Amino acid sequence: MSRRSLGLNDAIYDYLVEYGVREIEVMRRLRERTDALPMAEMRSSLEQVNFLQLLLKATGARRVVEVGVFTGYATLGFALALPEDGIVHALDISHEWPSIGRAFWEEADVARRIDLRIAPASESLRALMDEGLVGLVDFVFIDADKTGYAAYYEAALELLHPGGLIAADNVLWSGRVIDPAADDADTVAIREFNAMLRDDTRIDLTMLPLGDGLTLARKR
């Protein structure tokens, strides 16, 4: 629920963006278009997408699954970071928000690398498995309904090859994970997700204070 990293004051955040982040002009315009929406808080942060782009390039990722597209800002970043034959399977339940991104994907000339699927994410993940992608996915980004995270994570572990990566956003949930008064379903789900991953021996794990908290998990 944060468009920028937690805990940085405006001045140091501006400095980070000025010196530490690269964003092509089409991405900037999609970001600004998204920020005009009432639900703009759902947009992935600039620095987080930038980090994940570098991670995709560093690991030579070709096949990405994105669970939760919103307006497709991160989707665009991922597609730009992939090689020519790469693909982002972009899963969302809304027709409305991803349709905003599509024009920008086309303008950036990467729409052919984006396989947008509108359905409940659990169904789309099952479809990817049925299509034979088990063990063939390099990277899964989980940034959708928080009560679905645990199920998406299990599906991600099936789809990934050993050494593949999962990134899960909003794991610090604007700090509500440590607020004893916060007992809504989303907050409880994030806490349970974090506890589950901490103790999961199937993965290597690190939680970064990037954006709203980003967990990276590497399938062993």
Judge residue 92's burial from the number of C-beta atoms within 10 Å of its C-beta, 0-12 exposed, 13-18 middle, 19 or more buried: buried
Toward Ca ion, which CB reaches closer, 73 or 104?
73
Residues in contact with Ca ion, counted by CB under 5 A, come to a total of 3
Toward Ca ion, which CB reaches closer, 53 or 170?
170
Residue recorded with tokens 């995709």: 56
In whole angstroms, how close is the CB of 170 to Ca ion at the nearest point?
5
Look at residue 127 and give its three-state secondary structure.
helix
Q: CA-CA distance, 50 to 36, in Å (whole number)?
A: 21
Q: CA-CA distance, 185 to 209, in Å (whole number)?
A: 22
In whole angstroms, how close is the CB of 145 to Ca ion at the nearest point?
11
Q: CA-CA distance, 86 to 113, in Å (whole number)?
A: 6
Toward Ca ion, which CB reaches closer, 1 or 133?
1
The footprint of Ca ion on residues 114-173 (CB under 5 A) is 143, 169-170
Residue recorded with tokens 């034959």: 85
In whole angstroms, how close is the CB of 42 to Ca ion at the nearest point?
6
Toward Ca ion, which CB reaches closer, 134 or 151?
151
Interface ranges with Ca ion (CB under 5 A) = 143, 169-170
